[in-house]
């Protein structure tokens, strides 16, 4: 009988261990997801747009968790209560760690709030006057006035590791994120792929999908092809023209749900607008109404969107605080080119004018085609649109307040908090008057009555009173027309059979909720 040497035995044991490890790894569930674009950031205080937001919520957690149906519940905070009209006390979850092993404490919450104040996103904490760490697991917020929806706001504030973030620095946080979320960053090759690994010590339980790869595929046809050839398992924003084709293939599922994302047109209200010669015609409400009545939203839906959109009648959907029953933008300003021409003439612009429309070509469904359709529609009333269409990676910086380049902007806005207040405070509050308000008021709209209603809404502990103030604000916006609502997108996903995907109302593709065979 021959005997193996101890060295050979050890080598064989190592080989078996490696094979076992490889087998275990190969059995781990993985998905590859095709997104419409690469995230702009991985540091949650560096900016806000959908692809970045999707990554933020994989890597980080808020105190208050927003579920896929927009309901709110415990996140990093187990519970909260009103101590008095302006004081909220949050009890934090015990035993939570960041990906680097650091313990999550109240000091991290205080640090995050103070960092947000100094960031380009101060609106996240605009209604927090003071924050105090009572002990390691208790934090107390004071609001300037009674504020009924602070927990909703805190669902947007993602908590940073104070020690790590301070040492790493803001500029490096995009490349080296550190949160408490269900996933950790694996690798980010910009404009090629971003990989995530499940954080097995996640406080809510480890994710079923252990390895996630996000691939930015900006071209809709290429995205569909990547799905059909097996390069990706799931795609976001299946092209409307490909829906029927993919539905006919038994290997894939098409999943749709109404979106919260409202495509809107913001009009510059300054007397001197960057792309308009002479006096800005849009300072006159009649011109704004003329533009509204020249936009054929039904034609956009039928021809450009293949029927897969819902023309929007207000700035938020009917489920939200601030929505006014029986009030419709489409009824107030129906398509009427002749009426629009008459309004232009009445305002002194019968010969029309020229301006630039800034729009994206990879952010919203068929966004470039919508811009082209708008140019044709407004030409009928003498408004010449020169199209400035760009990738979203350039767009957000280009239109950033104080919007020195823009006169007319096509963008989108959604309100996952179920309350119009955050949108109205950000988009329509007079700029540079109140910290954290008007920070994305790209049209320079200003109405003291509007500001006062937002202030009142943000100063009442009563949800019903808040809803009433916001409804009054909606009525003012509908009359003033600083912005034109166009349509709500339909969220359209496609996935290979065997992948379980339940679309969220806020359009966040969250791998933690997914499963795969």
pLDDT in tens, the chain (517 residues): 222 333 333 334 334 333 344 444 447 999 999 999 999 999 999 988 889 999 999 999 999 999 988 889 999 999 999 999 999 999 999 999 999 999 999 999 999 999 999 999 998 999 999 999 999 999 999 999 999 999 999 999 999 999 999 999 999 999 999 999 999 999 999 999 999 999 999 999 999 999 999 999 999 999 999 999 999 999 999 999 999 999 999 999 999 988 899 999 999 999 999 999 999 999 999 999 999 999 999 999 999 998 989 999 999 999 899 999 999 999 999 999 999 999 999 999 999 999 999 999 988 889 999 999 999 999 999 999 999 999 988 999 999 998 899 999 999 998 888 899 999 999 999 999 998 899 999 999 999 999 999 999 999 989 999 999 999 999 999 999 999 999 999 899 999 999 999 999 888 899 999 999 9
| Polymer length of the chain | 517
- Residue where one domain finishes, among candidates 176, 199, 230: 176
Instruction: Report residue 79: phi and psi, to 5°.
Output: -160, 165
Q: Which two tokens mark 504?
A: 């969220």
* Domain assignment of residue 4, yes or no: no
**What is the longest distance spanned by two Cα atoms in the chain?**
108
User: What integer pLDDT is reported at residue 22 of this predicted model?
Assistant: 44
Residue identified by tokens 């949108």 is 423
What is the pLDDT at residue 17? 39
Distance CA 132, CA 83 (A): 14
238 and 377 inside one domain:
no
pLDDT at 25: 44
Could you tell me if 355 and 468 lie in one domain?
A: yes
pLDDT at 417: 82
Residue 3 domain-assigned? no
Do residue 381 and residue 475 come from a single domain?
yes
Rounded distance between C-alpha atoms, residue 474 and residue 480, angstroms: 10
Q: Last residue of a domain, which of 176, 204, 231? A: 176
Nearest alpha carbon to residue 451 among 433, 464, 471:
433
Q: Any idea of the CA torsion for 299, 305, 306, 308, to the nearest 10 degrees?
A: -110
DSSP 381-396: TTEEEEEEEE-HHHHH
Tell me: do 335 and 484 sit in the same domain: yes
Where residue 285 sits, what CATH number does that domain have? 3.10.105.10
| Assigned domain for 320 exists | yes
402 three-class SS: coil
Collect all residues with Cβ–Cβ distance below 8 Å to 1 and sequence separation of at least 6: none
| Residue 227 placed within a domain | yes
| Same domain for 453 and 352 | yes
Q: In angstroms, rounded to a whole number, what is the distance separating the alpha carbons of residues 351 and 515?
A: 59
The continuous run of DSSP H or E covering 72 comes out as strand 72-74
Same-domain check for residues 292 and 416: yes
CA distance 3 to 225: 57
Mark whether 78 and 198 lie in a shared domain.
Answer: no
Residue 20 belongs to some domain of the structure: no
Domain shared by 433 and 287, yes or no: yes
What pLDDT does residue 5 have? 35
Are 336 and 289 within one domain? yes
Domain that holds residue 269: 259-490
Note the Cα 387 to chain centre separation in Å.
24
Q: Give the integer Cα–Cα distance in Å for 208 and 134.
A: 36
**H or E element, residue 267:** strand 252-267
CATH of the domain at 36: 3.40.190.10
The number of C-alpha atoms within 13 Å of 103 and in the hemisphere containing its C-beta is 9
212 and 125 housed in the same domain: no
Residue 88 pairs in a beta bridge with 82, 141
Question: CA angle, corner 71, sides to 78 and 415, nearest 5?
Answer: 120
């Amino acid at each position: 009988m021959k005997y193996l040497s101890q060295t050979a035995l050890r080598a064989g044991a190592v080989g078996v261990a490696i094979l076992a490890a490889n087998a275990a790894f190969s059995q781990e569930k993985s998905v590859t997801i095709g997104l419409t674009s690469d995230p702009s950031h991985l540091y949650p205080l560096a900016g806000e747009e959908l692809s970045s937001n999707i990554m933020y919520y994989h890597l980080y957690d808020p105190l208050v968790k927003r579920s896929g149906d927009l309901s709110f519940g415990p996140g990093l905070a187990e519970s909260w209560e009103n101590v008095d009209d302006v004081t909220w006390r949050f009890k934090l979850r015990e035993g939570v760690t960041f990906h680097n092993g650091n313990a999550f404490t109240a000091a991290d919450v205080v640090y995050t709030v103070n960092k947000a104040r100094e960031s380009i996103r101060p609106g996240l904490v605009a209604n927090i006057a003071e924050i105090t760490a009572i002990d390691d697991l208790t934090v107390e917020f004071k609001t300037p006035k009674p504020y009924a929806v602070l927990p909703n706001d805190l669902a947007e504030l993602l908590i940073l590791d104070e020690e790590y973030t301070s040492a790493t620095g803001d500029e490096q946080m995009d490349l080296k994120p550190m949160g408490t979320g269900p996933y950790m960053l694996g690798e980010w090759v910009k404009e090629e792929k971003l990989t995530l690994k499940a954080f097995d010590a996640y406080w809510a339980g480890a994710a079923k999908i252990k390895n996630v790869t996000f691939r930015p595929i900006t071209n809709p046809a290429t995205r569909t092809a990547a799905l059909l050839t097996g390069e990706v398992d799931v795609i976001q924003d299946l092209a409307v023209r490909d829906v029927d084709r993919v539905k006919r293939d038994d290997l894939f599922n098409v999943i749709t749900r109404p979106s919260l994302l409202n495509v809107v047109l913001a009009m510059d209200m300054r007397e001197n607008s960057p792309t308009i010669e002479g006096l800005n015609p849009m300072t006159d409400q009649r011109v704004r109404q003329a533009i509204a009545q020249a936009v054929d939203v039904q034609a956009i839906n039928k021809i450009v969107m293949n029927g897969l959109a819902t023309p929007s009648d207000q700035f938020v959907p009917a489920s939200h605080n601030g929505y006014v029953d029986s009030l419709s933008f489409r009824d107030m300003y129906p398509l009427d080119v002749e009426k629009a021409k008459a309004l232009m003439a009445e305002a002194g612009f019968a010969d029309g004018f020229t301006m630039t429309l800034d729009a994206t070509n990879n952010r919203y469904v068929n966004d470039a085609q919508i811009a082209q359709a708008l140019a044709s529609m407004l030409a009928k009333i003498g408004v010449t649109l020169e199209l400035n269409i760009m990738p979203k990676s350039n767009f957000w910086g280009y239109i950033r307040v104080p919007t020195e380049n823009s006169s007319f902007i096509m963008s989108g806005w959604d309100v996952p908090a179920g309350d119009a207040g955050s949108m109205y405070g950000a988009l329509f509050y007079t700029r540079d008057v109140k910290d954290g308000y008007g920070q994305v008021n790209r049209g320079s709209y200003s109405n003291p009555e509007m500001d006062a209603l937002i202030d009142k809404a943000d100063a009442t502990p009563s949800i019903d009173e808040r809803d009433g103030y916001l409804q009054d604000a909606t009525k003012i916006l509908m009359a003033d027309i600083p912005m034109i609502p166009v349509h709500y997108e339909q969220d359209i996903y496609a996935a290979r059979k065997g992948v379980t995907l339940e679309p969220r109302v806020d359009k966040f593709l969250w791998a933690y909720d997914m499963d795969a065979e």
